[in-house]
Structure formats: structure tokens, C-alpha cells
Structure 1
């Protein structure tokens, strides 16, 4: 009896092990997915006069609860839906359905994931249709009569295109197959499935049928070439318990001659790597019982490897389970991979980029100069920091002229006395005893120092650094030397009033700084942890942090990953900031409130600072560099007078968002043609979301939430059907059906991003990038600038942002949010929802123009206000707005000869040309014996003004002066004015007036 049962079981097991596959076919977008879905079963009937057809579909679906989703049966000849359909059983494994054929000898389509979606939205959410009964009652009764039922044949399963196909890695194994597999491997805590690099493990909660058909293997074998960045996978499947801390250990691979591929060139992407800062890390991987975890193994084959077959092993271990050894056999051919094979990303050769340290060394980037340390002072481009013995700044000086076009000989003081961290107890403010600073690093790009300060109760360890662009970072560790009750720990920044004219941040738009201001933490709703206070030629941005700081999400997604309240500064919401003006000092008091500390307790009062401006303004770049923000015929673009083409995503040569590697041949051809015709080309490529077309999508999904953010899922159908759950759906382009996922923030994807930029410069010859908001930090920005400007490449970077001052973005200011990137930008484009009509000149100056930071900008929303824009040297961007065309103003620039002019803004106290009306401002562009005067009104009504001209400062003899206004299409009529004559200015408008000597 036992023998009979054994043979029966063996027969069942064999049948399960050789389960038959349905044929899967990828079509070429043959139907409308947004009404029928992305998948269909093709069935056929080979008999005429059939009234009822029965189909058994073993579809092996990876989605949950198919019983809650509708399906359509459609006649292939007419594309008409059949109403008499009945589903008698349905599961993820199979479905039995009956339907009424329209005729015999016909094919029918069963669309089994139909959905509806708003195609107009760039953030769509596919809604899968619920089952509904469309069959008549009479017909439903008739299906019980099996005499006239014909079994329909399943011919194949089709996906609308290749990227939507489930085959083979998302075709699930059945429960019986998995149970049999576990039974065959009884006694093992987990099973390991070696898999090649071309079949990314996709499903987290299911085994693919592919592994059942192939059977268990204890050896992984594949082919590679010399110098290739080779990769393979190990699928870990716990069957008896959760696995803790899964590790992968590699042995060397040896051939028969004793040649070796050393273990040191092997690594596991999931457990080891190099982070975006260039630091090595180890990561613990746990796997829940019944789940599948892909472990991606990298082997960087040395280019000197001798051809042959190399054998070794890889050992999988866990803290709470037995070890498993899998053999590895790699056959290396005589071919040599070019640059690791990265030109073949389908082969997953770029996964090694995730651990790249390219351009990580903090080398000085032009126009910046090496840092110079003398005594306790550190000099950098246009600025100087003098350190106090506590380690905090004693003085901060800037050397920029008010015009921001050159350097001044005399310093402007940013602070009026040293920055201090004050500790107050019941007896008053404790006095720090300081041992002075010790420089620990003095490199051209970075200077670091430490200082130890003590009181009777506390020790304050200060570690500071300053970089060549003006960024300073402080780690301030406060340790209790005994139990202590404190009234407050606060940092006081005493700004010089002349260097704190404007303010941006802490719930304020860019505006004149108020005399008194109060602010409290609200990280759940507001992305606010600091502010910028400054004037055009001097200022300081600072941010308050602790040791747990993590960069939040931005641009519509702040509320899904907000700031963490710093335990030191926030102090359970006791902390806050107040600003008061007293004489020549503006005191910014960053307080944390009362608290108790036990002996040995540690708090981190960390903060960062940016000293502004970063460099003088390059006005000639503004006049000569004219962006055309659209993919178009190159001759058409050249004829407009534009000089740089911005190629957005969703275009034929850059179809997929933030993944410009698929149509790169077409992109290269386009750029080559542009270069021949004297134009430069920049491409849209940033970090925040990533196209689902990325070859590495599922390899990176295997890393948990390192690269992709956690979230509620949803979004476009591809995301729901292939990613499944636990993600944030991002931008969608319906024209190319590009569905993106939100990145998690700071991650190894930034290493890949820098490597990708490097590849694009070297292989596609891009001239720069267009950034649509930024989700990476300044370290990555510096690396990007280095690779973009290598070997003399122009490396032009312009940054666009919609106004971030709203609920979804956490009420931050775009300028404040992205200021850490400003040192490496060439232009700003701020942006959607920036109001150019109702906002003040101070808002234009601080939040839009870029001038206080050494930049210039352009306008976007509604084409901008051309009159007000020219006060700051801005136009709108061609051909983005139908409401405005910058070419008439470009023509004025060319006719006047703007190159070499000196921009003297209304913000300059001794501006040679002013108006007699405070609400009407004037900026001049001065050259020898001539000036272009831009006049713009913020008055509430039409007004008449007079120009108040300092002729001596202007360098023009008034008796020889000619004052004219050239005719400018859609801007102003031609006019002539006499010295002192009233000039009419309409509300919200202005003039471009030329003053020149006869």
C-alpha cells in the first residue's frame, strides 16, 4: 500500500513539476488599454453552431482578488463585447467562464484587467472595474445544459506591449506546485533559486512558474566577457520561518589552470555598498516566511581575465537558519567589454554604478578658488569667515559690490558679533570655557576644525567645516556632565542690520524683513527649518538640524515624507525662533526651551549655513544665452535667435522621465546636428521620480525603500499591475505611457545618476541639464557639475521650480529650498504659480531673480510681466508661453549692444537713474556714453514720472543727451523724451528707454 501511495505521489509530483506553459505574446499597442486593460486571453472555437462555449483559463495572475475585477469577452471580428457571459469559478490560478459565441470557427478575446482612468491627468489613478452581470436570466439557466457546450481552446495570452507583459517572471506558480516543491525539499528553512540577470525577480509574494518548470538548481551557470560588470540573482524563499540578517559570501572562482577571479571583485547589492556620500555601508536583509527576496550579486570581471570556465560557490547564510551553498560557473570568452559593458544596460551592467564614487572628491569647481587659511580666518571667493575660539563664526565678511558684477575692496559685515550657543539655567547664562579651535583638515575644497567648550554642567564639542562655495556645516554635541535643569539652550545669530534687509523662509515669502517676528516648528505641515536673511551683496541662510536629519520629499510630496522634528531644537515643540531689531543689530534667536538632562545625556544642536552671494553675476551670459524650451526642428529654432535647446522628457529623443538612456542614439544624432549649426542642447534629467522603463527597476525594488519611497500605491495601471504595492505613483506621460515612481530621497540612485550624466557627456555630448525641481543634496550637485564640465564641456544647468509655498510642498520657498544648489546653477526659471502681478519688488528680487545669490533668471507663469522682468534682466522663455514672445526684447538687447554693459539695479543706493515715484523703479544697463533704462511700475494706478538722472555718474553730458524709447512689439511704441519731461507709465507696465550721447 505504501509503495502504491509513493508511486501515486511521484506521478502527481512529476505532473506538477512539468506544468505546461501557455504561450505569451507581446503585441504592438493593438488596442486601447484605458478602456480594455493591458492583457487579454485569446481563445478559439473550432466548431460551428455552438450556443454556449466553456473556457478554462489557467492564467496564473499575480494580482490579488481577481474575483473583484471585471472581465470582457469580445468578438475578435467585430470588436464587440459579448453580453452573455458567466464566470463560474475564478481565482488567481485559473478561471472557468461560459459565453455565447456569435459564430463558430471564431477567435475571442477575454480582457481580464479592464480599468478606467482620467487620461488628461499627469497623476492618473487607474480604477479596475467591478464585476457586473450582463447576461440574461434565460441564458444563465441554459448553461446548465451541457449538451451544446463546446470547450474553447486557449491559444495564448497577449499583453498590449512588451513592457506590460507578465511573462515569465510574473506568471505565478500554483499552490500545489509550491507545496510539492516544499515537500521535495523537506527539512530546509528556505529555498534558493539562482536566476540570470535578464529575468529580474519581480514578485515579492509569489514564486514564478518559470522556477517550477526549471526545477531546483544548486549551480548557477552563465556566460560573460572580459571586463564586464556581470550580475546575477539569488531568489531567497523562506518556507518554515522568517529569516534574519541574510548574508551572501563569495568564494574565488578558479579555472582548471588555476587562474582566479578573486572574491574581492564580488559583492551583494542588497547587503553592501557605497552611499551617496562615498561612505561604505552594510545593510541587514530580513525575509518574511513565504516572501521572495532577490539578492543581486555583482561580479566585476577583470579585463585581464584569461578566457575559460571559472567555478566556485556562493554561500547564503542567516542568523537563524542553516547555510546554503550554490555553485557558480562562469564561462569567460575572449571578447572584451567596453567600459564594463555599460552600453548594454539591459544586461544590468550599470548596477555597479549604484556604488560609484565618481567625482566625489571635493575638488574646487570654477569659478571658485581654493580656500585660504590664515590664523583663524578662512578666505574664499568674495567672502571670509573668522572663527571664534568656541568654533563658531566671529565675523563673516563679503566683498561684493552692490551691483553684484565685481568685487569690493572693503568688507561688508554679515554679523555684528560672534554667533553663540547659549545655555541658560536658573542662575543665568553659563559661560563656556573654550580651549580654542584645532584645524583638522585644510584642503583647497574643504577646511575642518574642532573646538571643545565646557561649563560646570555641560560639554560642547563643536565640529565645523567650510567648503569653497560658502557652505558651512556644524555638528554641535552637547553632553551633560551631571544632572541639570535648563531654562533654555539657544543659538543667537546677531546679523548686521545692513546685511539683513530682506528675509525668505520660516513662513515668510521673500520680502522686507519685519522688525519683529515669531515662528514655531510645525514639521507635519511645513518644510521649514531655517531661513535666509540678507541684502543683495551679503547674506546668510541657515538650517537647524540634529543627528537624525533626513532630507524630506519635495514638490507635491512633502506631506508623505516630512521633516523629522529635531529633538534638540524642537524639544517637543517648545523650540522656535524669534527675530528682533535693536539698533544696528538684528538678533535671530533660535531657542529650544526648558529641559532636563541626566548625566551622560547627549543632544545635537547641528546646523548648516550658506554665505551669500556665491559669485558675481555673469550678465553677458544672460544676454547671449537664450533658451528654447521645446523639442523642434533645429533650423526652426536657430531662426528664432535662441542659442540653447532644452529637451524635455516625453519627447521622441528623451521619452522617459529621468532615464535618458533608451533613445540615446536619436538624441546623439539630434545634438550632433545642433552642434554643427551652432546650437547647444541640454536635456531634462533630474532626481525625484524615475520612469518605469528603467532597466534596473526591479533590481532597485529589491533594495526595499532605499531607492523608491514607501507609499500607498495606486497610479497608472502599469504600476498597479507590476509594482503592486508600497510605492508612490509619480508623473505620467500619456503620449508614451511613461509611469514613474517617486524616489525615496538620498540614496545610491544618486551615484547612478552622476555616472549616467558622465556617460551622457562622453557618449551623447549633452551640453548640460534642465532641472525640474531637485530631490538631491548639494554633494550630488557638485558631482554633477564636475562631470558636466569635464574636458571643457559647458555644463550649463538651469533650475525650474513651481512655487513651493503651498500645502503639498510644505510652505517652503523655492529659493530657500534650493539655495544649496545655487552655487552651481547658470540660471533660474521660477516658475508655475509665481505671481508676477501681485507680488512686490522685494519678492521679485529675492525669490525670482536670483540676483542676491549671483544668478539671473527667467519668468514662466502667464509669460511673466515683461516690464517688471527687465528690471532684473529677465524675459520669459521661448516658446513656452502663447502670451509673450521674448524676441522683441532680445532684439533691443542686440540693437543696443548689451554685451559688456554694467547692470546697476534700483537696489543700488547710488544708481545714476531713479524715478521721482517710489512705486516706479528703474534699473540701468550702462556702457560708455549710453544706458538702457528699464522702468517698471508697482503703483496702483497709471502715473506720470520723471527720471532723476545723475549725469556725472552716468558719464553723459546732459546737453548732448538723447532720450528715446524704441518701438518694441507688444511692449511699447516709439517715443522721445526731454530731460525732466513727464513720462506716462501705465499700471503694471513700464518702459525701456535709451539714453545716449549725441
Structure 2
């Protein structure tokens, strides 16, 4: 970790500041979890039973008088009881103690804490002052006596925890002197080097008192380097709209670095969806705002000194100009310096537009316009009505989900449409349309628009269809006169026979109820739509308005929930009813009575996902076997696994969602795996970010753009260095990795895409393992593109714990993440999924992935191996010791499951069924033989008979055998005749070979 090494070198030099205090580190010289991360080393050379030390510690923590001071004898390591700490402030404190060993060294621990709560979500609680000194000893203290002990140095437990130099604070007197000097100015600007990240907000670093306010800044960069520096704005009054203007940088010969190559990430940028933006920066009086300025040094420039200006402005304030002198050396960097990220060279990734073009991603096919109104896409078809909404949606997937048919499955009973009902007479307003027109026709995207009008209302429809089956509608409703509505509703009329299953709107995945009557409750529920359909044809809908912001998920929904759509929610009058209406199954999304003034606009936006996304790839399921643990590669290969998933908190990927520090170790491991025919995927997502990220404080300077606002707390490092306004996330106690929650959709996603591209191209990762997802489909598509670039496999599998709980907003994992399913290779759903009490319809819709073109694996308790095989699922090695999938993998290989056709119980073509509806059978059909998975959901042990369509199997019944091979911890060896009763234990089943 070179950034820590650099800090350690500075510290080891024992640089001195005021009062000759030395700041050093002493790597793990004490137990930080009881004594804290910081101590003062005291030298006592006096005599007697009272040592007095006055410590100018310049602390950045608040209320130090409320924290315990512990004194330890360095000779024995024993805690000294006779201690009295007085006059404790952030600037200094006086500590009296009994020097029990006489002259020598004593250690004063001044921010001790203990960890409470869950190990992965700890709460660092700072110890309160205690009085352990005897009354007799206290009486002997003479407060007027001179100090007889000196401060030798202030130590941190390691370089990562040190406060030096940027968190060592200036005193109030020093600060006031500086403020008085610049009293006529609204703010002071302190230029700062990129390796000294500005960290604190409410205090000046003492480093700036020593240096004084500077009017110039000197830096050095290589040709082609992305060079970053800081302008620390210290506000002497409230500032609004702080900006930085740059001039060209010129050398003596007149050669320039153009201002187009110079930016400030705090004020301008490119959003995660490729939209340029400007950010308003306000600074409260007596606080510091870092402005990170970046220079993209051209690679073809001459070496030399390039000079220019950076001018900081604010509304109604005199500007401050800093002279910038950048020395460009003779070295040329081909990569912009990103191989030295501790220099903040990767901040350029924040504004990346890599992989934003909506190119078609395999296995999808280009959109095909058929005539004037129909669009073909992989396995699906949309016919557009003249009002711009779908007239019909069709799929062409077979029930088996392994291929495509020429016979369409038509989802809609009639076209999707709106009703605008007058309050006065209860009649619907008749909107006229002249038809729709295409505004963009590309292989990956089709866009069209339509205008529908009456004398009182106008509805502008803008739609976008993408190659994966994502259909997005922006519906702008404009009142042309004052209007009172009894209701405004969206109708999605399904064919009844296409609505077997439902998931969402408070419904657990499974069979669709006869009636669902749902109301908005965004404060508690992450629900705005549902999925309805069959295995081979379905539709997810979600209702939003123009102010939609993606909420947090995975334990954090309540801290950033959905915003109630103004249109659909209508002050909580709105809701959705799902049920049979005449000959259709109708989704009725209503918003209730409302009034619109002339000229008022409402947005009734909605998204549709047409499922399945593609046929299931059973061959990938049988041949790709994940091993979910860091381990010796040879031992992993011997298990039969083919892909290694490397979690965080491992030697080659230690820091959560920041896999860039130990990348050389990672590359070495991956190279070895590749040489042995194995693939390696890594854990990496954006829900939270390790505090070890080089860019932590640069990202903190962006306010709430990257990190969510919150109450702070959590592990001690976060409290001591991030201090305030964050949400503490996952913590790994073994390596003390403390993460902070990401705010949602922001520029860190641009960095994430660039980072994944770098890891693919330079480290050779074969894909990623996602532990829930905190980004939207735009980022997912970009990730898939960079992971599969240049022939890389780009395997993505998604794990989710069951999201149907209070903390997650009662949403179904599959429903929540369905927009990502087109780009996944496997599901792993996951903790808190109940594989014992839930029925087959739950397995099918919420766990298996089959209705969406995916396959999955089980986790909680190892899953139920008998029921899992109905859907082609095992669990994952070596996650659970009580359910080893290798015996089942062995049977797969002995049978020859590769190349077999999977025909599930959900298909009317399944050639083997049972005479008990609670016992399901799925067939893996091969030439001249079949592997039949039987699993029971019956309440008790039952005897069943197989009903076999011999002709469909292609097997002569007179010559057939039915054999159960012995599978360890699954079934004993046994042979059955065709008509035999087969005993099936409760919750279990068989794997039978018919041949």
C-alpha cells in the first residue's frame, strides 16, 4: 500500500512541529481495541510520586473532556491507577500520574474505545472518564507545580490511523490571528499537494499555519499524467456558488496546456449516464471546502515549467487568484498515471463515458423494425399502437425455456392505455392521436413519440425500447384548461392465460392471487410495481415520475426510501389493483380524484421489462461450477469446480469494493489459475466503499454526491477521520476494513466501470460476483461491455439475501434486480431464503431464475438438494459443510447431463410426471436415456407412481430400467420397475436414470 508507505516514511523521519512534538507510528505496538489508536509517549526524569505532563495534542475530535485518559507504565505494560487528567481541551491537556517505575517512559492513551454491537456492524464507543486514583494521592497534587515530564512524541497505532499532518489542528489563537490578517477577505485559499488530502472541515490544519496562506502552488507531473492538486477554501463568511476559473498553462516558449484539459471535479462533471453537469458549491463560514483541480497533461508536450492561474470566485465576494506552476518532466506515461493511484491519478475516472454507447451485447440481436408498427427483438415482439403505447407484446420462448418457437405467446388482451375520467360526469376524455413517429432507429435502441390531444388535455408520449427488452415511457400530461378528475388510470390488460405467476406489490413470488389491492407506502416499502406472467412470457412494470431517484437497498432502504410519485401517488390516494376483469386480467394503476390547473404538468412515467430475456443456457449450468472461497488453486481444481469466486477480505482482494491495492497478488493468482484451466471472478460492487480507497477524502469533498448523508458512528477509524455525515457500512474485524455507504447513482459508477475495465485488461479477471446491486441497468450494461471486451468471458453472478423485510423495504430480490437479469450468468439467492417451507411456485419465480432465462444455486443451510434439482440447482462449494454438491456433480457427469434437454414440471411437454400433485418431476432428456429429478412438497412421506410418456422419451418401455444410483447424503442405490410405487420422504426426492 504505497500511500501508507509514503505516510510512514514521513512519520519515521519524525518531523517536528510546534513545541517540538514528533508524530510517529508504532505499528501494532498496543491493543487498539481497548486502548485506542493514539497515544502520547511521556519521558519522566524527575523524582517523587507525581509526574506532570502538559500535552499539546491538537486533537480534531469533539468533546475530549468526555473521553478517558489511560496511563501505562511502558516497562511493565501495567495500567497506572493514580492518574488525574485536568484542563482537557482539543488543544491540550494536563495529565498527572504516579511514575510507579521511577524515571523512564510512560504512555498516555487519550482516545480509548471499545467495540459494541455486531462484529460486522460495530459501534465504537469511547470510554468515559473514570477516577481510579486514591484520595490520598490526589491530595498530594500541587496544580501550581511546574511540569516535570515531557512529551517525547505522539504515536498512532499505524500509519493509516495517524492524524499527521492534515488532522493536527491549529489552536483558536493561531486561527484568530490568521483570520484577523485576512479580515477584509470573504475567504482564504490554501493550495495543497495531492498527497496531503484535506480531511477536516471545521478546523485549520496546523500545517497551514506553519506554511501560511500561499499565493502560488508548485507541482510536478510527467507527460501524459493526470495531475491533481487541491485548493482549500476557508470561508470567513457564508459563501455561495464557489467556482474555479482556470487560465491556460504556458511555458517560456509559449507552448500551452489548454484550459480544456483542466477541470475541478467539485463544480463540473459527467454523470453516470453521460450527462454533463455543473454542481453548486456553497461553503458555510468557518469551514473548509477542498476543491480538487485536475490537469490532463498532454503526452506530446515539451518538458518544462508551465504557469497559469486558478481563480476562485463566489457570489458577491472578491476573487482569489493562485499562481499555478507545473513542472512537466521528461518522463512520459502511457496510462495517465493510473498505475500510481495514491497520487489521485484515477480521479479522471469520475468523468468517464466508457462503454456508454448502447451497442448490442451478446446474446442479444439488433432491434428489427417490421413494417411501420412492429419491432422484433431476441425472442420477443412489440406492436405499437397509434397512441404510442404497446398494442401487443409477444414472446416466442418454448415452455421448456431452452429454445424459441414460431408460435407467439401474446401477453396483452388489448393495448396498454390510459383513462382520464371527468369528475363532473364520470365520462372518459377522448384523446385523439395522429399516430406515432420514430425519432431514433439504431441497432440497440428505438425511440418514438406521439401526441394525444383533446380540447382540455394533452398527453405527450416518448418511448424507448432497447435490445434486451427494456421499454421506458415518459408520459407528460398537460392540462389545457382547469380540470377536475374523478380518476386517472393506466390499464395493462393481460391475457388471463398469461398470468399464472406474480411477484411484487407485497406478494411473495408464486401463483397470482385472485385479487391484489395495493396502496403506495414509500416510507416503509420499496414497491412501485410487479412482475406478472408465465415461465415463457411475462411483463414487469414499475411506476415513476420525473423526480424518481433510486433508493438505497440491502438493510439501508429506510435511510433513503423511494419518493412518492406526484402523479401516481397523488398524496397517497393512488394505488394498484390486480385482478380478473371480464375476459382479461387487468392491472389497474389509479391515482384517485385530483385537480389540475391550466398549464399544470404531471408525469405518468412507467417502465416495462419483457421476460424472458433469452433461453436458458443449461450447458453453462452443468459445465461452470463455482467455488466460492479463496484457496489453493490445485485443491480447488480437485473438487471439480471450474470458476473461483474471490470475496473481499482475502489476501488478494482485502478491501471491500476497492480491488486495486493488492492487484499484483491478484494477477499472480489469476495467471496461475488460467494456466491450470480455471477462471477467477472477484467481489466488486458499489453499495459501500472501503475506507482504504485512495480517493476517500477527495470523494468526501463532493458532499453527498458519492457518500450518503447519515449519523456517522461505526468503527473508530470512521469516527476519528470521517467524523460526521456518513452511514457506516460493512466492517471486517480481521483486517479492520470499514466501509461507508454509497449514495446511489453518481459519478463513482463511472469510476467503477473504468476500474472494471482496468482489472479485466491488466489483471485478467474473468468476471464479477455481485453481492446485491446498488446501481441501475445503465451501469450494468457498461460493466458487461468492459468485462466481455476483447474476448474476455465477463461472467457475472448475483447473490442476494432475501430483501423481503423491514430494513430492505419488503421487496422481492428477483423483482428488485430484474433490470439486471439480462446481463447475469447465474443467480445465488441466498441468505434468508426458506427452501423448506416455500412451495414450488416460489422456487420457480423467486429463486430459480428460469422465467427470466437464468439458472441459479442455493445458499441458506445448503438449500434443499432434492428440490433444487427440480430447477437444475445445487448449492455452491464450499459454502455449507452440511450439503456438498460434489456427489450430485458426479452423477451429472456419469449420466452425461451436458447436452441433455431440460424439461421442467412447468412444461405441458414434460414426459414424466407423478400421480401426486405435491411431488414434482423434471426431466433431463438425452438420447436413449433420461435423468428424472423427483422432489416432494407433500406434508408427509408418500408413495408415488411415475407417469411416463415413453414415446416422448424415445425409450422402449419393455427394455427400460429405472435406477437410482447411490449419491452420498442424497439417496441410496435402488432399482425400480416401471409400475412400482416409489416411496418419497417428506422434503426429499430421487434422481432416477431411465434408460
Which TM class, normalised by the smaller chain length?
Answer: over 0.9
The whole-number CA distance in structure 2 between the counterparts of 1:736 and 1:601 is: 56
Deviation at 1:120, TM superposition (A): 5.5
Shift of 1:499: 1.7
Deviations 1:385-430 (A, max 9, x none): 1111111100000010000000011110011110001101133111
Matched, 1:468 2:464: no
The aligned residue for residue 4 of structure 2 is none
Equivalent in the alignment of 2:61: 63
User: What SS is found at the alignment partner of 1:808?
Assistant: coil
SS at 1:338 equivalent: coil
* 8 Å Cα contact 1:45-1:150 kept in structure 2: no
Structure 2 residue 308 is the aligned partner of structure 1 residue 309: no
The answer (yes or no) to whether the contact 1:61–1:172 under 8 Å persists in 2 is yes
Alpha-carbon shift at residue 105 of structure 1 (Å): 2.5
CA distance in structure 2 between the aligned counterparts of 1:719 and 1:469, rounded to whole angstroms: 41
Match of 1:370 among 366, 372, 376: 366
Partners of 1:757 and 1:565 in 2: how far apart?
A: 34
Give matches, 1:311-710, under 5 Å. Answer: 311-374=307-370, 375-425=372-422, 426-427=424-425, 428-582=427-581, 584-710=583-709
After superposition, give the CA deviation of every residue in 1:197-249 in whole Å (9 maximum; x if it has no partner): 0000000111100001111110011111100010000000111x200000100
Any idea what SS the aligned residue of 2:452 has? Answer: strand
SS for the counterpart of 1:317 is: strand
Give me the whole-angstrom Cα distance separating, in 1, the residues matched to 2:200 and 2:305: 32
User: Residue 93 of structure 1 corresponds to which residue in structure 2?
Assistant: 91
Structure 1: distance between partners of 2:56 and 2:167: 14
Instruction: Name the SS for the 2:513 alignment partner.
Output: coil
Counterpart residue number, 1:6: none
Q: Per-residue displacement from partner, 1:100-146 (whole Å, max 9, x unpaired)?
A: 10122211111111111138510000110111111111111100276
CA shift at 1:811, angstroms?
Answer: 0.2
Aligned to 1:190: 187
Distance, in Å, in 2 between the alignment partners of 1:145 and 1:561 is 52
- The separation in 2 between residues aligned to 1:464 and 1:327, in whole angstroms, is 50
User: 1:583, CA displacement in angstroms?
Assistant: 5.2
Q: How does 1:859-898 map to 2 (within 5 A)?
A: 859-898=858-897
Higher mean Cα deviation, 274-283 or 420-429?
A: 420-429
Structure 1 CA distance for aligned equivalents of residues 973 and 881 of structure 2: 24
1:780 is aligned to 779
Distance between the aligned counterparts of 1:658 and 1:562, measured in 2?
23
Q: How does 1:761-780 map to 2 (within 5 A)?
A: 761-780=760-779
TM-score (norm 1): 0.97
Q: CA deviation at 1:78?
A: 1.2
Shift of 1:456: 2.2
CA-to-aligned-CA distance 1:802-842 (integer Å, 9 cap, x gap):
00000000000000000000000000000000000000100
Per the TM alignment, residue 882 of structure 1 is displaced from its structure 2 partner at its CA by 1.3
Query: What SS does structure 1 have at the residue aligned with 2:342?
Result: helix
Contact map agreement 2:116 2:125 (CA 8 A) in 1: no
Q: Aligned to 1:755, what secondary structure does the other structure show?
A: helix
C-alpha separation in 2, matches of 1:228 and 1:783: 25
How far apart, in 1, do the equivalents of 2:117 and 2:792 lie? 40
Partner of 1:172: 169
**Counterpart-to-counterpart distance in 2, 1:210 and 1:498:** 73
Whether the 8 Å CA contact 2:73–2:101 is kept in 1: the answer is no
Q: Name the SS of the counterpart of 1:578 in structure 2.
A: strand
SS of 2:336's equivalent in the other structure is: helix
Residue equivalent to 1:257: 253
Offset of residue 601 of structure 1: 0.5
Superposed CA offset, 1:435-457 (max 9, x none): 21110000111100110001221
CA contact (8 A) 1:52 1:150 kept: no
Other structure's SS at 1:25 match: strand
Q: What is the CA–CA distance in structure 1 between the aligned matches of 2:978 and 2:967, rounded to whole Å?
A: 22
Give 1:20 shift.
4.3
- 1:24-173 correspondence runs (5 A): 24-47=23-46, 49-118=47-116, 121-144=119-142, 151-173=148-170
CA contact (8 A) 1:712 1:727 kept: yes
Aligned residues of 1:191 and 1:238 also touching (Cα < 8 A): yes
Q: Verify the 8 A CA contact 2:75 2:101 in the aligned structure 1.
A: no
CA contact (8 A) 1:309 1:331 kept: yes
> Quick check: 2:769–2:799 contact (8 Å CA) kept in 1?
yes
- Tell me if structure 1 keeps the 8 A contact 2:69–2:85: no
2:117–2:123 CA contact under 8 A, matched in 1: no
Q: Are residue 279 (structure 1) and residue 275 (structure 2) matched?
A: yes
Structure 2 Cα separation of the partners of residues 381 and 27 of structure 1: 61
Deviation sequence 1:925-975 (CA, Å, 0-9, x none): 001111000000000000000000011111111111111011000000001
Secondary structure of the residue that 1:298 maps to in structure 2? strand
**Hey, what does 2:8 align to over in structure 1?**
none
Moved more, 608-617 or 956-965: 956-965
Q: Deviations over 1:10-48 (max 9, x none)?
A: xxxxxxx9844521112222221111111101111123x
CA deviations on 1:636-666 (whole Å, 9 max, x unpaired) are: 1011000000000001110000000011111
Aligned with 1:782: secondary structure? helix
Residue correspondences, number: 977
Per-residue CA distance 1:675-724 (angstroms, 9 max, x = gap): 11111000000110000000000000000000000011110000000000
CA–CA distance in structure 2, aligned partners of residues 546 and 22 of structure 1: 58
Unaligned stretches of 5+ residues in structure 1 = 1-16
User: What SS does structure 2 have at the residue aligned with 1:460?
Assistant: strand
Q: Contact between 1:119 and 1:734, CA under 8 Å: does it hold in 2?
A: no
- Identify the residue that residue 752 of structure 1 maps to in structure 2: 751
CA distance in 2, matches of 1:973, 1:584: 50
1:905 aligned partner: 904
Check conservation: 1:570, 1:592, Cα contact below 8 A. yes
Aligned to 1:732: 731
**1:237 pairs with 2:220:** no
- What RMSD over aligned residues (CA atoms) do the two structures have, in Å? 1.1
CA distance in 2, matches of 1:587, 1:145: 83
Residue aligning to 1:944: 943
**Secondary structure in 2 matching 1:790:** helix
Give unmatched runs, 5+ long, in structure 2.
1-15
Partner of 2:13: none
Q: Distance in 1 between matches of 2:869 and 2:20?
A: 68
Once the two structures are superposed, residues 467-517 of structure 1 have per-residue CA deviations (whole angstroms, 9 ceiling, x without a partner) of 000001111000000001000111000011222110000001001001111
Matched with 1:789 is 788
Q: Within the alignment, does 1:811 sit opposite 2:807 as a pair?
A: no
Indicate how the Cα distance of structure 1 residues 150 and 270 shifts in structure 2: closer, same or farther if over 3 A, else same. Answer: closer
Partners of 1:29 and 1:965 lie apart in 2 by 58
**Secondary structure of 1:206's match?**
coil
Q: 1:21 to 1:438 in 2, by over 3 A?
A: farther
Q: What TM-score comes out, normalization by structure 2 length?
A: 0.97
Q: Which residue of 208, 211, 234 corresponds with 2:208?
A: 211
Q: Equivalent residue of 2:666, what SS?
A: helix
Give the secondary structure class of the aligned counterpart of 2:851.
helix
* Secondary structure of residue in 2 paired with 1:769: strand
Give, in angstroms, the shift of residue 370 of structure 1.
Answer: 0.5
In structure 1, distance between residues paired with 2:144 and 2:533: 85
- 2-side partners of 1:889 and 1:455: how far apart? 65
